[in-house]
């Protein structure tokens, strides 16, 4: 056990370095002055390299091997060895200098992406993205793969997932959703609320209230503004969320807050015993997304939720005083192909992911170039959604992920939708009076059920194993399809 104790102390040091990285990254996206970008890129590169060198060192490899030889131990200890062995072997393939270059390059690229998006100018971002893609391809080659270099990337976010397993899943889902969209067109579209102006400060207050309803602990977190909403775990007792708001639409900010709040509840709900072990966080990015999509959609877009939330909405926005809960519920469940992924409805959202998945695979496999992305994006949007972006801002520049080198991540959003629907079906069965609780704002029992069944385990279980433990079955698209068909069928009077 002495070896295991030494391994835990070693990985704690790595975790503390990553905590400093997270704090720098949060500040960069929220409060850092523009002229600090270059220095911040250098600092992030140095800190990440220090952590990276420890992850790939001979010493951690020796400790992992020795701990394995010591034999069986607790489930958590077995998971610690499994997770660090995987991370050690995966990252050992990448030279520290190359990794530092990648961190510095993506840090600069994200700053340029913000400017390029504001100016709707892909040409400004193109050389930075090209450099990121070259580095990503190089790292995928070093990590190794059997069929597609993209497999090496998606495995970072969803252990065990490959292009060959994702492509039929996404193709089948796309077919079902496109057919359902046509079915909805024969129904009665919900009447949407008239446009208005919604000041940002009341929006921020409303979102802060909503985070309180779902149980986000402000004593262990913050809510700040950013260009792209995100959640970040700084360390024990510190899981922060950011959000963005639109003056002509109060619901985008609310759903952004609920989404990020779902991520944050996962982090805040980890078993304290997992702190500094590398087992905090989520079983995978898809499982993490299941928690954000659960609160944003299954709860936040339900009629029961709006029965409770409507008086609070009116208090912040008196101009909506003539509306009823049903009016808001129908408004926020209007299904219509649109340009912006983060504002897409639940029927069309996964089509955005199918689009990005195909483009990423083509790009990483070298079948298209960075220069071709705007044209390919626009064509794919027309093919998948029947709409065409009028500019780069609402097209190829809308997401932050590529600037950060997060190729392989987007599939996690769809996997999160599927996992989330499975988990929600189980929660409805197991929590007495589930929807009565939502309708009266009693969300604590739901949060605690999730904490007990999902959150506290962190990375102890692989995603497929965790979902089977919670729901009794492996990944399936059927619960999600049942969910959207039932809800949107009611909204559209089918």
Residue 204, CB-side half-sphere exposure with 13 Å CA sphere? 12
- Compute the distance between CA of residue 130 and CA of residue 221 in angstroms, rounded to an integer: 35
Q: Pull the structure tokens for residue 223.
A: 């809510």
Q: Pull the structure tokens for residue 257.
A: 């807050």
- Compute the distance between CA of residue 169 and CA of residue 463 in angstroms, rounded to an integer: 16
CA distances from 488 to 262, 337, 414 (A): 23, 14, 18
Q: Pull the structure tokens for residue 411.
A: 């599939």
Burial of 334-353, coded b for 16+ CB within 10 Å and e otherwise, reads: bbebbbebbebbbbbbbbbb
- Compute the distance between CA of residue 202 and CA of residue 66 in angstroms, rounded to an integer: 57
**Strands annotated E in 244-365:** none
> 316, 202 in Cβ contact below 8 A?
yes
Q: Which of 104, 260, 296, 464 is catalytic?
A: 260
> What is the chain's Cα-based Rg?
22
- Compute the distance between CA of residue 305 and CA of residue 308 in angstroms, rounded to an integer: 5
209 is catalytic: no
- Compute the distance between CA of residue 381 and CA of residue 355 in angstroms, rounded to an integer: 7
DSSP structure class, residue 299: I
Apex CA 481: angle with CA 216 and CA 159, to 5°?
65
Catalytic center residues: 260
């Amino acid at each position: 056990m002495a070896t295991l104790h030494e391994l835990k102390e070693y990985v704690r040091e790595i975790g503390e370095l990553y905590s400093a990285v997270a704090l720098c990254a949060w500040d960069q996206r929220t409060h850092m002055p523009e002229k600090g970008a270059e220095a911040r890129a250098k600092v992030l590169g140095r800190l990440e390299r220090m952590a990276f060198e420890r992850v790939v060192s001979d010493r951690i490899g020796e400790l992992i091997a020795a701990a394995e030889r010591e034999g069986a131990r607790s489930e958590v200890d077995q998971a610690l060895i499994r997770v660090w062995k995987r991370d050690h072997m995966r990252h050992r393939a990448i030279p520290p200098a190359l990794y530092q270059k990648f961190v510095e390059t993506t840090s600069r690229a994200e700053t340029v992406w913000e400017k390029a998006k504001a100016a709707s100018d892909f040409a400004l971002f193109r050389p930075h993205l090209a450099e990121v893609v070259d580095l990503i391809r190089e790292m995928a080659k070093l990590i190794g793969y059997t069929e597609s270099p993209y497999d090496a990337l998606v495995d970072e976010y969803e252990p065990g997932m490959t292009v060959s397993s994702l492509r039929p899943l996404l193709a089948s889902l796309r077919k079902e959703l496109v057919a359902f969209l046509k079915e909805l067109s024969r129904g009665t579209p919900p009447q949407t609320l008239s446009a208005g102006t919604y000041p940002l400060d009341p929006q921020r207050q409303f979102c802060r209230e909503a985070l309180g309803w779902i149980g986000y602990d402000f004593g262990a977190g913050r809510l700040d503004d950013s260009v792209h909403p995100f959640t970040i775990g700084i360390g024990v007792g510190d899981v922060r969320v950011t959000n963005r708001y639109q003056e002509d639409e109060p619901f985008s900010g609310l759903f952004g807050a609920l989404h990020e709040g779902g991520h944050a509840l996962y982090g805040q709900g980890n078993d304290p015993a997992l702190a500094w072990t590398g087992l905090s966080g989520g079983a995978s990015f898809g499982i993490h997304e299941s928690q954000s999509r659960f609160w944003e959609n299954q709860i936040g877009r339900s009629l029961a939720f709006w029965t409770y939330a409507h008086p609070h909405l009116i208090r912040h926005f008196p101009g909506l005083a003539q509306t009823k809960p049903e009016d808001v519920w129908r408004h926020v469940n209007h299904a219509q192909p649109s340009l912006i992924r983060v504002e897409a409805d639940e029927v069309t959202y996964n089509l955005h992911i199918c689009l990005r998945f195909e483009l990423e695979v083509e790009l990483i496999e070298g079948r298209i170039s960075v220069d071709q992305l705007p044209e390919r994006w626009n064509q794919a949007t027309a093919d998948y959604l029947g709409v065409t972006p009028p500019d780069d801002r609402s097209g190829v520049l809308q997401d932050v992920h590529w600037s950060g080198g997060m190729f392989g991540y987007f599939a996690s959003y769809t996997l999160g939708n599927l996992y989330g629907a499975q988990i929600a079906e189980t929660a409805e069965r197991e929590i007495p009076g589930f929807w009565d609780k939502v309708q009266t704002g009693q969300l604590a029992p739901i949060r605690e059920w999730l904490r007990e069944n999902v959150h506290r385990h962190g990375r102890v279980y692989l995603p497929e194993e965790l979902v089977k433990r919670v729901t009794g079955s492996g990944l399936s698209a059927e619960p999600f399809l049942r969910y959207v068909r039932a809800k949107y069928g009611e909204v559209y009077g089918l």
